[in-house]
Amino acid sequence: MQYLSQTCPDETHKIRVARERAAELKGAIADYLEARPGIPTGLELEEKYLAAKNRIMVYFQATAQDWQDWHWQMGRRISNVEQLADLVELSEQEKADIAAVGGQFRWAVSPYYLAVSLACGKHGALWKQSIPAREEITDRRGVLDPMAEEFTSPAPGITRRYPDRLIINVTNQCAMYCRHCQRRRNIGEVDRHRPRRVLEQALQYVAENPEIRDVLITGGDALLLPDSTIEWLLSRLHSIPHVEIKRLGTRTPVTLPQRITPRLCAILKKYPPIYINTQFNHPAEVTAEARAACDRLVEAGVVLGNQAVLLKGVNNHPFVMRRLNQALLTIRVRPYYIFHAKPVQGTHHFITSIDEGLEIMEKLRGYTSGLAVPTYIINAPNGYGKTPLLPAYVQERRENKIVLRTWEKRIIPYHVLM
Ligand code: SF4
C-alpha cells in the first residue's frame, strides 16, 4: 500500500488509487454480507414472533391489552416445566433436565421473551439464555461470588469499587432469571425489594461522601421496583448536589419492554441526566417492541447504552456481535461494554476463551463504525474493577517512534512529533 504515501502525479492516478482501495474495502466486508441473512434481528423475525405470541396468548386467554401490561407479563411468567411443556414440545429428557435444574436454581421467563425466543428457534441463542440447561448442575466449576461483592459494601445496600461512583442494590427481582446471570447467588426463592430503611442508609452514605458523582441503581433489575419507589429514589438522589448523574441497570427493554410505560418515562424525564444500561446479547432480541420501548426512553431524555455478556453458543461469533451492535445503533442504544463472562458456578458452559473475545474485537474495529465498537472488559478478581482487553495495536515503542498494527493488520511505523 505504498501508493498512499506517494505523490500522486495526476487526477486519473488518484481516482485509480481510490477505486482500487474502495474495491479492497468492499472485499473486506464480503464475508459478513454473505453471512448476514443467516443472523436475523428480531425485526426480521416478526412473523415468527407474532405466531408464537398468538399461541401463548391463546394458552393464557389473554387480550392484546393484557400482553402490553407488564404486571400481566410478570404474573404469567413461565417458571415450571409442565407449563413450558404445554407451550413447547419437550422430550422426556428435556423435561427431566429442566425440572432437575429448577430444583436447584430458580428460573422464570416472561411470555414476551418466550415468544421472541421461539421465533429465534428452540435451543437457539435466546432459549439458552432463558431455559435451564443440564450443565448448570453437572458442571460445578466456578465460585458463587467472583467479584467479592460481599467485601465491597461499606454501607447497607451499597457496592463501592471505584473512587467517584457506586452502586445501590435495590432488589433481587428480575423479569427473567437469565441462565448466565453473574449474580445468581442473590436470586433466592422469594422476590425481595430492599426495604426503604436500608435504602435510606444507602442514600445517607451517598450524601455523606461528596466525591460520589455517579450513582448506579441496580439489582436484580432496577425497573422492577414500583414507579413510586423509583420516583422517590431518583428525587432523593437528584437533591444531593454532588450527584451529577444517575444510572439505572435494567434488562427490561430486552426481557419485558412493556415495563417502559409512559408513566415511568414521565418520572424519568423529571430527573435528568439519567443513563440506562441494558443487556441485549443477540440481534434476535432487537424486536419491534424492544425498539418502541427504547424510543420511549430516548424521548424521555434517557441516554441508552448496552452491556452485552460474551456467551458461548449465544454470541461468541464476530458476525453475530457485529450484527448485534449495528442493530442496537438503529434503535438508539450505544454499545458500551462486552463483558467476559465471570466464573460463576452453574454458568461455566457459557464461558468462552479470551482469544475468542479478542478475535471479536479484531473483527469489529475498523470493519464497522466506531460507535458500534464497545469495550471488551474482564472484571479483575476480588472486586478490583473492570479491566479492558484490547488487541495489540502498538507493536513496538521507542522514543518518538511507534510501530502500529492497523485493523487490517498492516504494520506501519509512526513518528510522533514532539
Ligand atoms: S436481568 Fe441481570 S441480574 Fe437479572 S437475572 Fe438477568 S443477568 Fe441476572
Answer whether the bond into residue 273 is a cis peptide, omega within 30°.
Answer: yes
pLDDT at 315: 98
* CB 107 less than 6 A from any atom of ligand 1: no
Helices and strands in the chain: count of H runs, count of E runs: 16, 12
Residues 302, 179 share a domain: yes
Residues 263, 291 share a domain: yes
Please enumerate in sequence order all residues whose Cβ is within 8 A of that of 249, keeping only pairs 6 or more positions apart, or say none. 216, 217, 218, 219, 221, 222, 276, 277
Which residue CA neighbors atom 6 of ligand 1 most closely? 178
List the domain range (segments joined by +) for residue 15. 2-38
pLDDT tens track of the chain, all 418 residues? 455 555 556 899 999 999 999 999 999 999 999 999 999 999 999 999 999 999 999 999 999 999 999 999 999 999 999 999 999 999 999 999 999 999 999 999 999 999 999 999 999 999 999 999 999 999 989 888 777 677 889 999 999 999 999 999 999 999 999 999 988 877 666 778 999 999 999 999 999 999 999 999 998 999 999 999 999 999 999 999 999 999 999 999 999 999 999 999 999 999 999 999 999 999 999 999 999 999 999 999 999 999 999 999 999 999 999 999 999 999 999 999 999 999 899 999 999 999 999 999 999 999 999 999 999 999 998 878 899 999 999 999 998 899 999 999 999 999 987 7
* CB 222 less than 6 A from any atom of ligand 1: no
Residues 270, 254 share a domain: yes
Residues 221, 176 share a domain: yes
* CB 194 less than 6 A from any atom of ligand 1: no
* CB 113 less than 6 A from any atom of ligand 1: no
* Cα–ligand 1 centroid distance for 249 (angstroms): 10
Which residue CA neighbors atom 8 of ligand 1 most closely? 181
* CB 177 less than 6 A from any atom of ligand 1: yes
pLDDT at 143: 84
Residues 167, 70 share a domain: no
Residues 311, 207 share a domain: yes
pLDDT at 367: 98
Query: ∠ CA 256-262-265 to the nearest 5 degrees?
Result: 85
Atom number in ligand 1 closest to CA 177: 5
Q: Cα dihedral sign for 121, 127, 128, 134? A: negative
d(CA 412, CA 252): 45
Question: What is the domain-level CATH number for residue 239?
Answer: 3.20.20.70
pLDDT at 192: 85
Residues 162, 52 share a domain: no
* CB 157 less than 6 A from any atom of ligand 1: no
Over residues 39-57, the pLDDT tens digits come to 999 999 999 999 999 999 9
Which of 117, 128, 183 is the pocket-test mutation for ligand 1 (most atoms within 8 Å of CB)? 183
Residues 246, 375 share a domain: yes
pLDDT at 287: 98
Atom number in ligand 1 closest to CA 174: 4
pLDDT at 152: 87
**196 in a structural domain:** yes
d(CA 71, CA 259): 8
* CB 324 less than 6 A from any atom of ligand 1: no
Q: In the chain, how many domains are there? A: 3
